[in-house]
């Protein structure tokens, strides 16, 4: 994670001063459902039973520089998925995968009226995976981190200072089919 912080600092240093002249600052957060294929993170597991869902959440803040352009910084937690199976006589096998990211993005907005707009965003995400595989008495820590592309699409609805967003966001983690979060968010505009 520490090696990816300079990338985020550079993006923030470029984006924030450019947008500080505008009074379009906002903050927000939301909850949603994350989707990723657990097998992408550990190919050697035997077919495992699904144990628990993977709700996710996110927090973000940004500046709307122009009517059609904004910048945003955020944190997303894609939740944790645990799969397990009891194997006799060798014991239990389980796989736990948790994913989170810090990101910086540029947003392009298409106003559909005074209170509603569509938006698309693209940026860089510094992601971390927490992957623990257990096979009987053996435990492997397959955790990793990196910086890759993140992007999203959404619908933004504004009521005076409070707004709502529905968004689908993705991060491209190498050697996976990708990680996605569909979220419902509330925003506060200053």
Multiple choice CATH, 2-189, 2.40.50.100, 2.40.160.20, 1.20.58.340, 3.30.70.980: 2.40.160.20
Residue among 123, 124, 120, 180 nearest 156 (CA): 120
Answer yes or no: is pLDDT of 15 > 60. Answer: no
Q: What is the pLDDT of residues 76-93, one digit of tens each?
A: 999 988 887 766 556 677
CA distance 156 to 167: 8
Answer yes or no: is pLDDT of 22 > 50. Answer: no
Please compute the mean of the pLDDT values over residues 50-55 and round it to a whole number.
65
> In the predicted model, what is the mean pLDDT of the chain?
83
Answer yes or no: is pLDDT of 190 > 70. Answer: yes
Please compute the mean of the pLDDT values over residues 122-142 and round it to a whole number.
90
pTM (2 d.p.): 0.80
Q: Domain coordinates of the chain in residue numbers?
A: 2-189
Decide if 34 contacts 56 (C-beta within 8 A).
Answer: yes
């Amino acid at each position: 994670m520490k090696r990816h912080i300079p990338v985020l600092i550079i993006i923030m240093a470029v984006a924030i001063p450019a947008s500080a002249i505008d009074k379009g600052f906002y903050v927000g957060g939301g909850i949603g459902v994350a989707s990723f294929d657990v097998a992408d993170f550990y190919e050697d597991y035997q077919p495992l039973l699904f144990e628990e869902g993977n709700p996710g959440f996110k927090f973000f803040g940004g500046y709307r520089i122009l009517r059609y352009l904004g910048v945003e910084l955020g944190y997303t937690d894609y939740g944790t998925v645990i799969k397990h199976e009891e194997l006799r006589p060798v014991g239990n096998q389980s796989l736990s995968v948790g994913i989170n990211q810090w990101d910086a993005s540029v947003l392009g907005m298409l106003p559909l009226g005074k209170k509603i707009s569509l938006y698309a965003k693209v940026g860089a995400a510094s992601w971390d995976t927490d992957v623990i595989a257990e096979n009987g008495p053996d435990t492997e820590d397959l955790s990793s981190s990196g910086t890759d592309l993140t992007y999203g699409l959404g619908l933004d609805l504004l009521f005076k200072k409070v707004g709502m967003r529905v968004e689908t966001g993705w991060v491209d983690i190498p050697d996976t089919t990708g990680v996605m979060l569909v979220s419902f968010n509330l925003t506060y505009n200053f």
